[in-house]
């Protein structure tokens, strides 16, 4: 078990989400950076979908109530174990009574604490993710609070080395795949969506300009601030199904990107959809930082997915070698 000794609002237990119930109006929820969760769980010998703690408000501190192994992924939260600094994307064994602290990230927005066996909260609709808007799942259907004690699942994997082992982060392992401009603007691939032709006069500007993530953003969606793009005609649309990554344009002309806690239906025109394999990068963009959307097609999205799967496969081999040793 682990005890939460210090936390901010909105830090939650999450897995990869519940994807089978959108037709009933249930949001996916789940982590904002699924690649970080999958990588941490693979190194630990967990199922990729094992629940972890998503930390987006700092400082955050936990005490381990038993010997176990952990992996910290996602943003560089300047992790310290009993005061000793740990590198980012790092795994190691921990002893009963030790404390881990995460601070405001040097880079990125969200840290993930993965633990051997996963966080063993009850399954609700097939997932252990916290649905904040519905107040169910996770730990008591709410953000974590100081004093909460979380149970851990069983694991057959050996403990990670005490001295620790690192993961090469995806943006370092695949620099040609996940790029940013020289000025730090994160570039994300997107495919034109259903109402894209309505914005034909603003197409060039939509793709070329930098969009700033508004402070009025959260796990439901990121609002993008920039020079508005306006549809060529007013269109009365019926509500349609939404999934994370859909880029909608409200009448004011500043796009909204639907994310993990997205509504299940909406009616604003869709101009584009960010490809699934790039959504983890958007989940690591802080409010006030900027992104650029790069037009691509399905073939490019498939290529990116294949490269990511190869990276995860190499990590699985690394984990197998550790377990064999």
- Residue 153 shares a structural domain with residue 243: no
- Residue 89 shares a structural domain with residue 225: no
Question: Looking at per-residue confidence, does 263 or 76 come out higher?
Answer: 76
Structurally, the chain folds into a number of domains equal to 2
For residue 264, pLDDT over 80 is answered with: yes
- Segment 291-318, tens digit of pLDDT: 999 999 999 999 999 999 999 999 999 8
- Residue 119 shares a structural domain with residue 246: no
- Segment 193-217, tens digit of pLDDT: 999 999 999 999 999 999 999 999 9
* Confidence (pLDDT) at 97: 97
Residue 273 parent element (H or E): strand 270-274
Residues 6+ apart with CB under 8 A from 5: 61, 62, 63, 99, 146, 147
Instruction: For residue 269, give the CATH number of its domain.
Output: 2.40.100.10
Residue that terminates a domain, selected from 167, 200, 235: 167
For residue 57, pLDDT over 80 is answered with: yes
For 40, 58, 161, the CA distances from 91, given in Å and listed in that order, are 8, 20, 8
Is 14 within the bounds of a domain? yes
Q: What is the mean pLDDT of residues 164-190?
A: 93
Contact 30, 16 (CB under 8 A): yes
* Confidence (pLDDT) at 225: 97
- Assess whether the previous peptide bond of 59 is cis (omega < 30° from 0): yes
Residue 127 parent element (H or E): none
- Segment 205-259, tens digit of pLDDT: 999 999 999 999 999 999 999 999 999 887 777 888 899 999 999 999 999 999 9
Is 318 within the bounds of a domain? no
Q: Which structural domain range is residue 56 located in?
A: 2-167
- Residue 163 shares a structural domain with residue 193: no
* Confidence class for position 182, pLDDT limits 50, 70, 90: confident
* Confidence (pLDDT) at 106: 85
- Residue 270 shares a structural domain with residue 207: yes
- Residue 137 shares a structural domain with residue 57: yes
Beta pairing class for 186-192 and 290-295: parallel
* Confidence (pLDDT) at 325: 60
* Confidence (pLDDT) at 73: 98
* Confidence (pLDDT) at 75: 97
Is 315 within the bounds of a domain? no
- Segment 145-165, tens digit of pLDDT: 999 999 999 988 888 998 999
pTM for this predicted structure: 0.96
Least trusted range by pLDDT, from 48-52, 272-276, 278-282, 317-321:
317-321
Is 85 within the bounds of a domain? yes
Q: Nearest 5°: phi and psi at 115?
A: -130, 145
Q: What share of the chain is helix, strand, coil (3-state, %, to 5)?
A: 20, 25, 55
- Residue 150 shares a structural domain with residue 224: no
Give the per-residue SS3 of 157-185. CCCCCCCCEECCCHHHHCCCCCCECCCCC
- Segment 71-129, tens digit of pLDDT: 999 999 999 999 999 999 999 999 999 999 999 998 899 999 999 999 999 999 999 99
- Residue 249 shares a structural domain with residue 289: yes
For residue 49, pLDDT over 90 is answered with: yes
* Confidence (pLDDT) at 267: 85
Is 176 within the bounds of a domain? no
- Residue 78 shares a structural domain with residue 112: yes
- Residue 61 shares a structural domain with residue 145: yes
Burial of 221: CB neighbours in 10 Å, binned 0-12, 13-18, 19+ = buried
- Residue 149 shares a structural domain with residue 72: yes
């Amino acid at each position: 078990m682990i005890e939460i000794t210090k936390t901010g609002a909105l830090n939650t237990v999450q897995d990869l989400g519940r994807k089978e119930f959108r037709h009933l109006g249930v949001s996916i929820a789940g982590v904002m950076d699924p690649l970080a969760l999958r990588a941490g769980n693979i190194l630990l010998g967990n199922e990729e979908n094992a629940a972890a703690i998503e930390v987006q408000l700092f400082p955050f501190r936990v005490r381990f109530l038993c010997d176990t192994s952990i992996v910290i992924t996602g943003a560089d939260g300047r992790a310290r174990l009993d005061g000793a600094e740990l590198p980012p994307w790092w795994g190691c064994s921990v002893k009963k009574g030790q404390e881990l602290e995460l601070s405001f990230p040097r880079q990125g927005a969200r840290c993930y604490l993965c633990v051997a066996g996963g966080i063993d909260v009850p399954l609700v609709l097939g997932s252990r993710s916290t649905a904040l808007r519905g107040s169910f799942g996770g730990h008591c259907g709410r953000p974590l609070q100081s004093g909460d004690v979380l149970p851990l699942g069983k694991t057959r994997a050996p403990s990670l080395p005490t001295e620790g082992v690192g993961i090469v982060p995806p943006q370092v392992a695949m620099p040609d795949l996940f790029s940013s401009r020289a000025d730090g603007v994160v570039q994300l691939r997107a495919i034109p969506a259903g109402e894209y032709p309505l914005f034909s006069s603003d197409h060039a500007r939509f793709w070329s300009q930098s969009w700033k993530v508004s402070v009025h953003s959260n796990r439901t969606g990121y609002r993008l601030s920039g020079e508005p793009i306006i549809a060529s005609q007013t269109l009365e649309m019926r509500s349609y199904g939404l999934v994370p990554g859909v880029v909608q344009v409200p009448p004011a002309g500043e796009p909204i990107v639907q994310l993990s806690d997205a509504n299940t239906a909406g009616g604003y025109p869709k101009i584009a959809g960010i490809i699934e394999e790039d959504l983890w990068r958007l989940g690591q963009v802080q409010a006030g930082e900027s992104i650029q959307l790069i037009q691509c097609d399905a073939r490019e999205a498939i290529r990116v997915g294949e490269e990511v799967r190869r990276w995860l496969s190499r990590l699985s081999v690394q984990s197998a070698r550790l377990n064999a040793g």
